[in-house]
């Protein structure tokens, strides 16, 4: 009976630990709450959950709020009617600064 009781205590502790680790992973971001940070709307603008690149020749870098502070977050997107293959997705530190008509690797 003592061995069974010890096993129940061990399993209870393991379940508690697993539940706590699940609480630390935030759910995926709701796409409706993403706000694009767009330095110059001459090149891109947000329309609902879409980021629309204007037909002007120029680069556009878009950051998003809210800032991810911890955990794992799923982010997805696709390019609709994109004329060429010159595009990138990336993840940067929240202190990064992007200017208008700049590629992500040219920011501060």
Report the Cα 41 to chain-centroid distance in Å. 21
Domain assignment of residue 12, yes or no? no
Does 13 map to a domain? no
- Helix, strand, or coil (residue 22): helix
Question: Quick one: DSSP state of residue 64?
Answer: E
Is 46 part of a structural domain of the chain? yes
3-state secondary structure of 104: helix
Structural domain total, the chain: 1
The reply to whether 60 falls in a domain is yes
What would the mean pLDDT of 23-39 be, rounded to a whole number?
65
Q: How far, in Å, CA of 93 to CA of 49, rounded?
A: 23
What is the residue range of 77's domain?
A: 28-106
Q: What pLDDT score does 1 carry?
A: 82
Q: What is the pLDDT of residues 88-100, one digit of tens each?
A: 677 777 787 777 6
Q: Is residue 21 part of a domain?
A: no
User: Using one digit for the tens of pLDDT, what is the confidence trace for 32-61?
Assistant: 667 888 877 887 888 887 888 877 776 777
Examine residue 5 and state whether it is found in any structural domain, yes or no: no
Q: Is 15 within a domain?
A: no
In-domain check, residue 45: yes
């Amino acid at each position: 009976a003592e061995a069974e009781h010890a096993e129940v205590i061990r399993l209870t502790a393991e379940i508690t630990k697993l539940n706590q680790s699940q609480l630390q992973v935030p759910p995926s971001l709701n796409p409706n709450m993403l706000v694009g940070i767009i330095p110059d709307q001459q090149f891109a603008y947000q329309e609902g959950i879409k980021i629309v690149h204007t037909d002007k020749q120029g680069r556009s870098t878009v950051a998003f709020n809210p800032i991810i502070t911890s955990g794992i977050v799923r982010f997805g997107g696709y390019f609709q009617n994109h004329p060429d293959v010159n595009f990138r997705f990336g993840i940067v530190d929240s202190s990064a600064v992007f200017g208008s008509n700049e590629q992500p690797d040219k920011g501060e």
